[in-house]
Amino acid sequence: MSRILKVGLAGCGSVSQRGLIPHLSQPDLRDRIEFRAVMDPVEGRAKATAERYHIPLWYEDYDEMLEKADLDVVVIASPIGFHFEQGMKAVQAGKHVHFNKTMTTTKAEADELIAAAKAKGVKLVASPGQMQRAIHQEAKRLLQEGVIGQLYCAITGRSWIGHEYESFREGEDIISNVNPLWYYQKRAGGGPMYDMVVYSMHTLTGILGPAKRVMGMSGIGLPERRFKDQRVVVDMDDNTHLLIEFDKGVFAHVYGTFASGPRRPELQFSGSSGSMDLGREGIKVYGDPALFGVRQAVLEAPASAFGNLPYVTGVHVNLPESHVFSDIMHLVDCVLNDKEPVVSAEHARHVIEIFEAGYRSAQTGQVQEITTTF
């Protein structure tokens, strides 16, 4: 008889309500998972969620869920500052864990978590699994093939005015009235790097390989943020810029701001004979005008040419946050078929070390060496 994994989820906020819970509740998954429990500390939110999606168990206390719900897999979608502690508790209880970005906020925590998971024989998958996307693998192949000559540098990053502007949060009911002001607080793991730039950094390092050194500049733009009638004094940087050195003298500028985004492709590469844009529209390679005449794309591959992410089929194609669903099902697949995750905790740790080192560089004014690899 094939095994069915019992899954519980911590944190019933925006990403869970819009994406994770609708995905995990679909009947087509019942041959692999039983979505058994949800947990959220805000009174009434887990109960209302369980009732809406017909989930048998709900809790307002994380430890109680771990103790009583008889889970195989825990999906963590709480504020980022809780991820390390909740991940460690789940690992110690013998559960496999999916982190809805980012796994921890320090390298030391990531080291501890990876060692504990190994000792307990459980698996970790930390979103986002950017290199599961065929378009990113193709970009890596083209660069290695020398399509733009010798690679010089890259620019990437994420900017967005802030989670208080998510339309999901406009309602007044217990499920959608979710306060996002933790995104501006240090102790809660706030800031644009751990939340948004984690995508750019997984893609960049997935394509270029591990980083060697980092310099940072970082600060706070708006000193106060508001959500409905509540306000918070911002104590986490919301305007961070890193300069990163890779192998063979390749440099990247990586930015993260809770401010309006510049209109540019998600990732741009510049080489000795051309440049490459990578983003929602696909891949565009431009030969340098001095070598190839007018600036026009010499290679165009629309994003639609690269198909869906693994496990994203049927109803899941049109549900939001399907990339996170894909990562969760990757963990399920690895547990059921005893495979090592490709979306690895080691890659997540490398990205976390770059962020931590970048903040340290911004404070000290010193270049920081990166020690981890993946």
Ligand X SMILES: NC(=O)c1ccc[n+]([C@@H]2O[C@H](COP(=O)([O-])OP(=O)(O)OC[C@H]3O[C@@H](n4cnc5c(N)ncnc54)[C@H](O)[C@@H]3O)[C@@H](O)[C@H]2O)c1
Q: Please say whether the beta carbons of 171 and 39 come within 8 A.
A: no
How many Cβ atoms sit within 10 Å of the Cβ of residue 216?
Answer: 27
- Report the distance separating Cα 126 and Cα 104, nearest Å: 10
- Which of 22, 79, 149, 209 touches ligand X (CB under 6 A)? 79
- Provide the phi-psi class of 62: left if phi over 0, else alpha when psi is between -120 and 50, else beta: alpha
Residue nearer to ligand X on the CB measure, 18 or 140: 18
CB of 120 to ligand X, least distance (A): 21
Task: Give, as ranges, the residues between 318 and 347 that touch ligand X (CB under 6 A).
Answer: 321
Number of residues counted as binding ligand X (CB under 6 A):
25
**Binding flag, residue 180, ligand X (CB under 6 A):** yes
The stretch among 40-48, 219-227, 334-342, 366-374 that binds ligand X (CB under 6 A) is 40-48
CB of 220 to ligand X, least distance (A): 19
How many Cβ atoms sit within 10 Å of the Cβ of residue 220?
Answer: 17
Site string for ligand X, 206-245 (x = CB under 6 A): ----------------------------------------
**Binding flag, residue 267, ligand X (CB under 6 A):** no
- Report the distance separating Cα 86 and Cα 102, nearest Å: 13
Side-chain-facing half-sphere of 269: CA atoms under 13 Å: 32
**Binding flag, residue 101, ligand X (CB under 6 A):** yes
Of 114, 88, 75, nearest in space to 325 by CA = 75
DSSP secondary-structure letter at 39? E
CB of 42 to ligand X, least distance (A): 4
The stretch among 13-21, 65-73, 137-145, 241-249 that binds ligand X (CB under 6 A) is 13-21
- Which of 50, 65, 80, 208 touches ligand X (CB under 6 A)? 80
Residue nearer to ligand X on the CB measure, 230 or 364: 230
- Which of 29, 37, 38, 45 touches ligand X (CB under 6 A)? 45
- Report the distance separating Cα 194 and Cα 75, nearest Å: 17
**Binding flag, residue 15, ligand X (CB under 6 A):** yes
Enumerate residues 6+ apart whose C-beta is below 8 A from 56. Answer: 36, 37, 50
Beta-bridged to residue 158, according to DSSP, are: 256
- Report the distance separating Cα 223 and Cα 105, nearest Å: 22
Where along the sequence are the contacts to ligand X (CB under 6 A)? 10-16, 39-42, 45, 62, 77-80, 82, 100-101, 163, 178, 180, 195, 321
